[in-house]
Amino acid sequence: MAENASAVNVPSNGFQLSSLWLDQKYRSITLQVIAAVLLLSFIGMIVNNTMSNLKILGINPGYDFLGDPSSYDISQHLIEYNSTSPHWKAGVVGLLNTLLVALFGVVTATIIGFVVGVFRLSKNWLISRISYVYIELTRNVPLLLQILLWYGITVHSLPKPKQALEPATNFFLSNRGLFMPKPVFESAMWLVVAAFIVAVVAAIWYSKRAHKLQDETGKISPVFTVGASLIVGLPLVAFFVSGMPVSFDIPELKGFNYKGGMAIKPEFMALWFALSMYTGAFIAEIVRAGIVSISHGQTEASYSLGIKSSWTMRLVVLPQALRVIIPPLISQYLNLTKNSSLAIAVGYMDVVATLGGITLNQTGRALECMSIVLTTYLVISLSISAVMNWYNKRVALVER
């Protein structure tokens, strides 16, 4: 009987070429191979056609132009840069400006979104209505108009440099931006940096130990208080022990503007505020939906155990809601980063305005410049997705 069953399961004629299409197991592979070949052939045809047209126009594609002097200034740069710097360095400056506004925008939009999302569900009628109006108004007005609005408010509502506001000592706010003291670090500053790193590692260790203790005994430890004390206190002690190794470059009014110090330009402020407010409205709705998805029985059970409402939201509702919130939150972070390309509307020099704008116009290398810009945004988006997907797996519900 075993020999007869074996003879039935194995075809007598073996594998045939027709099996690639007739056999369901091989058909899916065949279709994928055909689709891949057609796609690669289409891409190859486009590349070949593009190269042929460039040769007809007398253009030799290449990236050697990146070493030529840029011959233009950038008002905001986080690294040393001037008009004699090469184009590649202008691109790096633009990339850093893009990452800067994206980072500040993501943090601010997240805070706004979570606060407004919780307020949207408040039993206080006024707070709930104000949150509703903000969400609906912000989401239904184009982002570009909001950027221009915030830029107009920043430039036209603030005074000129000679009548600048001084919200704090040596801080000057005008329509040219917010000027503040610039820290100048001395060699002994490494001790403070080392103390900060040690404090962060110690805070993480204590947090893991506290959570393990809570799982075993139910005892709640002051994780936030201890962590904040370590991260703030230890570097502060090291700062004073090392003799306060930092001085400040104070901005001074010279002519029609302030010189020295460091400045937050109005273009950056307008773009930052607009991106934060716009994306924050979408995040607020995501947070509201995540909280609503949690059964009300969870809240009632928490209250029955005598847990305060603020702790209930922080320890019971939000940890469960995060599993619903994070996937669409990733899309909003990606949208904010890509929407920062609208910075050119107010003259903020990001990677699109530098490599995709002035450098492209000066060199005429549209293909090369745009390929760099597209690759840059692709890498940034994939990096954000990777980090957020890793975090999403960390907070996902694990079955036991």
- pLDDT at residue number 5: 45
CA neighbor of 351 nearest in space, from 378, 326, 327, 324: 378
Indicate if the pLDDT at residue 3 is higher than 70.
Answer: no
For 56, the token pair is 């007809």
Contacts of 271 (CB under 8 A, 6+ apart): 101, 105, 147, 150, 151, 340, 342, 343, 346, 348
Higher-confidence residue of 60 and 273: namely 273
- pLDDT at residue number 374: 93
Burial class (CB in 10 A: 0-12, 13-18, 19+), 353: buried
Residue 15 confidence class, pLDDT cut points 50, 70, 90: low
Mean of the per-residue pLDDT values for the chain? 86
- Residue ranges of alpha helices (H) inside the chain are 2-9, 19-22, 24-56, 87-120, 125-139, 143-157, 189-217, 223-241, 266-292, 296-304, 309-311, 318-339, 351-353, 360-363, 366-395
Spatial distance between the Cα atoms of 252 and 258, rounded to a whole number of angstroms: 5
Contact (Cβ atoms closer than 8 angstroms) between residue 90 and residue 355: yes
Across residues 59-78, what is the average pLDDT? 85
Contact (Cβ atoms closer than 8 angstroms) between residue 313 and residue 294: no
User: In this structure, what is the dihedral angle of CA atoms 205, 207, 212, 215, given to the nearest 10 degrees?
Assistant: 180
Across residues 72-100, what is the average pLDDT? 90
Spatial distance between the Cα atoms of 112 and 168, rounded to a whole number of angstroms: 25
Residue 2 confidence class, pLDDT cut points 50, 70, 90: very low
Contact (Cβ atoms closer than 8 angstroms) between residue 82 and residue 69: no
Query: What's the longest Cα–Cα distance across the chain?
Result: 103
Q: Are strands 171-174 and 165-168 parallel, antiparallel or unpaired?
A: antiparallel
Report DSSP letters for 211-268, one per residue: HHHHHHH-PPP-HHHHHHHHHHHHHHHHHHHTT--EEEE--EEETTEEESSEEE-HHH
For 223, the token pair is 């994780």
Q: What is the pTM of this model?
A: 0.79
Give the residue extent of every domain in the chain: 87-156+265-395
Per-residue pLDDT tens digits for 189-202: 888 889 999 999 99
Spatial distance between the Cα atoms of 291 and 325, rounded to a whole number of angstroms: 9
Rounded percentage of the chain residues whose pLDDT exceeds 90: 35
- pLDDT at residue number 13: 55
Please give the radius of gyration of the chain, using alpha carbons only, rounded to the nearest integer: 29
Indicate if the pLDDT at residue 31 is higher than 90.
Answer: no
Contacts of 18 (CB under 8 A, 6+ apart): none
- pLDDT at residue number 397: 62
Across residues 389-394, what is the average pLDDT? 85
Per-residue pLDDT tens digits for 153-185: 888 888 888 888 888 888 888 888 888 888 888
Residue 399 confidence class, pLDDT cut points 50, 70, 90: low
Rounded percentage of the chain residues whose pLDDT exceeds 70: 94
Q: What are phi and psi of 259, to 5 degrees?
A: -120, 150
Per-residue pLDDT tens digits for 291-350: 888 888 888 888 888 887 777 877 788 888 888 889 899 999 999 999 999 998 898 999
Q: What is the 3-state secondary structure (H, E, C) of 276-299?
A: HHHHHHHHHHHHHHHHHCCCHHHH
Across residues 208-226, what is the average pLDDT? 84
* CATH T-level fold of 87-156+265-395: MetI-like fold (1.10.3720)
Indicate if the pLDDT at residue 364 is higher than 50.
Answer: yes
Contact (Cβ atoms closer than 8 angstroms) between residue 365 and residue 109: no
